Structure 1
Amino acid sequence: MDANMWASIEELRKMLDAHHAAAGQDVLPQRLLKIIEEVGELSQAYQGFIGANPRKGVTHTQEDVLMEVCDVIIAAAVTLATLSSDPDSTLRRNVEHVAKRALSEAVESPDRTDGGGPIGRWDGVARSDRP
């Protein structure tokens, strides 16, 4: 994330801190609950995208799923900014650590050719074929 995004995250954190303080609520549990809420909404959007509920069918679009992913990231970033005095460095350090570990342990998986999968199809833009 760039400096402008972190500035927006910090503004959100301050606003939410003030809100929770006025309500007499502890900040950290509220942040964690928000992440859980957003993950639930992401799950619901994805299930709606693939038509997982036969009674409802396809109820969400790929854009709905993308927006929910962003909401999860924002909620997590606000939580990170709550816990870390330098969330940008903390995130960069962790991304580098996870990428290094994952890439050093990567094992090739077989290509799936069975044609199975969800009703809704991802357009592939979010995959490794992006520059």
Structure 2
Amino acid sequence: MADNTPWDTIGSLAALFTRLDSERGLPPEEQWTLQVLKLSEEVGEAAQAVIGVRATNPRKGRSHSWEHVQEEVADAVITGMVGLARMRPDDAAEYLARVLAEKSAKFLPAAGL
């Protein structure tokens, strides 16, 4: 496993979850829908952690650390990558690289300018 890239691990997770959901009789689009809902849940947990670190809920006070926030953000990223790999099992990494290049070009100057 030490030689695996993050995308290898993401692909393995995506294949596992797809197989498990398929065994439950869920069609692909329903699987994708549930994966996006899972992503929303993870983003919500990151938001809850920020609320906890900022102590903005008077009932709970300071209930989280920035380390918790970082872990929840990582969970959201992983869940998003797994979702993309489930929807695009053949080219998720390349697709993400392409979309990242397009989106970042709006903010980062072109090389050599």
Q: Which residue of 1 aligns with 2:107?
A: 102
CA distance in structure 1 between the aligned counterparts of 2:46 and 2:69, rounded to whole angstroms: 6
Identical positions, percent: 32
Letter in 2 for 1:24: G
TM-score, normalised via structure 1 length = 0.72
Q: How big is each residue's C-alpha offset from its partner over 1:8-55, in whole Å with a ceiling of 9 and x where there is no partner?
A: 001101110111112222311121111011011111111111111012
Q: CA RMSD in A?
A: 1.4
Q: In terms of mean alpha carbon deviation, does 59-68 or 21-30 score higher?
A: 21-30
Q: Which runs of 5+ in 2 are unaligned?
A: none
Are the aligned partners of 2:15 and 2:86 in contact in 1 as well (CA < 8 Å)?
Answer: no
State the number of aligned residues: 102
Q: Which residue of 1 aligns with 2:54?
A: 50
Q: What SS does structure 2 have at the residue aligned with 1:101?
A: coil
Question: 2:80 matched to 1:76?
Answer: yes
Structure number, greater radius of gyration: 1
CA distance in structure 2 between the aligned counterparts of 1:6 and 1:98, rounded to whole angstroms: 20
Question: 2:68 matched to 1:64?
Answer: yes
After the TM superposition, which parts of structure 1 deviate over 4 Å for at least 4 consecutive aligned residues?
none
